[in-house]
Amino acid sequence: MTDCKQAEIDRLTQENSLLQKQIDQLQKMSALGELVSTTTHEFNNVLMTIINYARMGMRHDDKPTRDKAFNKINQAGERAARITKSVLGMARNRSESFEATDLAKLIDGSMVLLEREMQQYRIVVEMEFDDVPAVNAIGNQIQQVILNLLINSRQAMPDGGRLVIRLKQDDSRQFVDLSVRDYGMGMEQETLRKIFQPYYSTKSGPDESGKGGTGLGLATCKKIIEAHGGKIRVESSVGKGTCFTLRFPAIVASSAAAKVAGVASPAGAEINAVRACG
C-alpha cells in the first residue's frame, strides 16, 4: 500500500469518527428534547388542574364543593412532587460510569413522567415485576431507552390498548430481561429489518404530542444496550402487537467480577418477524 493510499484511508477514518461523534450528539439532543417535551406536558396538566379547581373553590362557598376542590389541588400538588422527584433523580444520575442499577426504579420513574399521557391515549399499563438482581448500568441511559420504548408502544396504539411491562430473570439466573409489550398494529418483516437503522422511521414526523419521527430512537437504544453488554430483541406480528426485550447481565452478589459484566461482551439485535411476544 502506498503512502498516498494510507493517508487517504487515515483521513476517511478520521472523518468517519468525527461524523459518528456528531450523530451521537444529535441522538443525545433528540432524547433530551423528548424528555423536556414530556416533562413540560405533564407539568402543564398539573398546573391546569390546580388552576381550574382553585377557580371552582373561589366561585363556590359551600363546604362540599370547596373540600372537593382542595382535595383535587392536593392530589395535583402530590403528582407535581412525584414528577419533580423523578426529573431530579434523572438529573442527579448523569454519571457516565457503570453502577449497580435497580431497573424497577427506572421503570417507575419513567411511568411517573408518562402516567397522564398514557391515560390521555387510553392506554392500560400493567407491570409484572419479579424480584430480580441489580444490573451494571449507566442509569440515565437505560431510562432513556425505557422512555423511548414506552412512547413507541403508546404510539402503536392510537385508539388505546394494553401495555405490559415485565421484569424477570432468565432460566440461567445470569441475565435480567426487561420487556415492553404492546397490543397495537405490529410490524411487517421488511420494517423489522430496518428499525434499528439510524434515521429510519415508520412515522412521517412527530405526533400531536411532539414526539417521535426522527428515526434516532431505536438506533440509539440498540447502541446503548450493546454498550452495556446486553441484547435487544424485537418480536412482532401485524395486527397483534410488538414486544421489545432488553437483556442485561445480572450482578451476581457472590462474584465481584460480575459487576463489570455489562461492558465485557459485544451484542447485537435479535429480530423475529413472525411471532408476537406473549
Tell me, yes or no, whether 187 lies in a domain.
yes
Tell me, yes or no, whether 208 lies in a domain.
yes
Parallel/antiparallel/unpaired status of strands 123-129 and 161-169 = parallel
Cα(122)–Cα(127) distance, integer angstroms? 16
Tell me, yes or no, whether 19 lies in a domain.
no
Tell me, yes or no, whether 194 lies in a domain.
yes
Tell me, yes or no, whether 80 lies in a domain.
no
Tell me, yes or no, whether 58 lies in a domain.
no
Tell me, yes or no, whether 81 lies in a domain.
no
* Number of domains within the chain: 1
Nearest to 252 by CA among 156, 135, 137, 162: 135
Question: How do residues 139-188 score in pLDDT, each as one tens digit?
Answer: 888 988 998 899 999 999 999 999 999 999 998 889 999 999 999 999 99
Cα(26)–Cα(62) distance, integer angstroms? 55
CATH number at residue 183: 3.30.565.10
Question: How do residues 18-35 score in pLDDT, each as one tens digit?
Answer: 887 776 666 666 666 666
- Print the domain residue range for 263: 95-272
The predicted model scores a pTM of 0.71
Tell me, yes or no, whether 165 lies in a domain.
yes
Residue 215's CB is within 10 A of a number of other CB atoms, namely 17
